[in-house]
Structure 1
């Protein structure tokens, strides 16, 4: 708790410093604009500088207004014994009754208790959310495994994660307000950043090693002398795609936990459960997509070998 307060205080001071820096730059530019225009016409300089200043002020204040006009986020009950727990479940159930996906699936909202109905509803949403997660994780795997471009891969993964969280949020909550989506992005990023990458590497290695042995053993690459470099490139590509795919799966799992929890929870527990869930789903993504990467490299190697053998005869 103390660490979180310290981080928030640091971020607050950094934000204030950036805002002050922006205001100083804006003021300097407005003064330069006024000085330049005053050589032509003093009234024109006053009018245009005032309009420019008001425009900059509107650009600064509009996001704050849009953010704070939304209602404050509702705190989750601490436990089942919390006096607000049942009332919170009733409000959550009313929101779920307006959920577009549940309505399209003809979900039955009848039941003995709000808790039981909510649990069934979130199971249905979880199944659909898992499909979205796997589809996006597969796309991330193939894109980053084939691309092998650090900057481009980073931008691709970032865009995919932002899209994934937004898609899951709209699945669970239809149209979340700006305060809600900002909160989710911040919380998910905080949980993901403290994930233990060393353990992730071990988990990925355990799944990739037998898979790559079986895949490479049945391709033309395995019979080409001196093809160790190609094999290394393939393994590196699959590992790169697997790491990014695991990240996407973890982000999706964490997002779904945040969207479906009805009580206060421990972030460390969510991180552990999300890592386990992501690792389980990674196996199917690897088995489905790694073979495509291997085949593409194998075909490229085969074509390159044919071309290399044909060229000397053509030259002769």
Structure 2
């Protein structure tokens, strides 16, 4: 069944790509004909240049796909020849990573130290993306657009983390990472609903307890913070799952990764809720003042 679905999707992807390519080439030819109406030389030169650009755009990804190295698959255990080969290959990849900044990466200890450096760097990306998810969705309060925005943020976060751990991941690397992260992060049974609400409630009580006392219209703020906290937590969790897939030395069970990512995301959530709530409160607090001052601003413009 999976093979048939994969085959159908592959054929569909090739068919759609071919149609898009035909449309692009057709538009380029029409534009070249338009330039040819001005002067025949313009038309011929532009057509050749357009076709070269189109060929490069199609062939460059294929060339990169075969040029870049394949993904490194962690072994089952941290002992034996397979683990030693993996550490050796991983050492070479980490040694060429500009974020690591180590003179030489050799052996398990150096690899762990290098991964620790990459963990810190990826944590910055995870927190930055979660903060953006919290503030944007807490202020926006638009379900459909927020869902698309969060999905885009999370895919970009996975891309950033993949680049942090592997300087130039291949298409295989990214497809493997996206598939595993999205399946692991969004599986329905991965986190119990009661546990989820408990995490968000705990983070909210730590993050907004001292902030809300200064704000009128507390209900509006709480609703905004609930929405922002939910999306921030999911984003943190996706980032932590991606981090663990990229930085592991041995294969880990999906359930173990989910549980660990949930626990780490919960620890990071309180700080993000606290910082984000201050910004949300600031915007909501200014809104009535801006509305009240509108008539006066209009009067000044009319004068």
Identify whether the pair has TM-score above 0.5, normalized to the shorter chain.
yes
- Over the residues paired in the alignment, what is the CA RMSD in angstroms? 4.4
Change (3 A) 1:168 1:245: same
Partner of 1:203: 198
Partner of 2:170: 178
1:196-235 CA deviation, whole Å, 9 max, x = no partner?
46536413442255357734652241xxxxxxxx433322
CA distance in 1, matches of 2:55, 2:81: 45
14-23 or 158-167, which moves further after superposition?
A: 14-23
CA distance in 2, matches of 1:16, 1:129: 34
Partner of 1:122: 115
CA distance in 2, matches of 1:92, 1:267: 22
CA distance in 2, matches of 1:55, 1:98: 31
Change (3 A) 1:65 1:122: closer
1:52-103 CA deviation, whole Å, 9 max, x = no partner?
9999999777655653554443332221344221121012112212221121
Partner of 1:254: 241
How many residues of Structure 1 are paired with residues of Structure 2 in the alignment?
292
Partner of 2:262: 275
Matches within 5 A, 1:95-244: 95-103=93-101, 109=105, 114-173=107-166, 175-179=167-171, 180-194=173-187, 196=190, 199=193, 201-207=196-202, 210-211=205-206, 214-215=209-210, 217-221=212-216, 230-244=217-231
Partner of 1:85: 83
Pick from 277, 284, 293: which aligns with 2:271? 284
TM-score (norm 1): 0.70
**Unaligned regions of 5+ residues in structure 1, if any?**
27-51, 222-229, 311-316
**Unaligned regions of 5+ residues in structure 2, if any?**
25-49, 297-303
Partner secondary structure for residue 124 of structure 1? helix
CA distance in 2, matches of 1:18, 1:255: 30
CA distance in 2, matches of 1:283, 1:209: 7
Partner secondary structure for residue 252 of structure 2? coil
Partner secondary structure for residue 264 of structure 1? coil
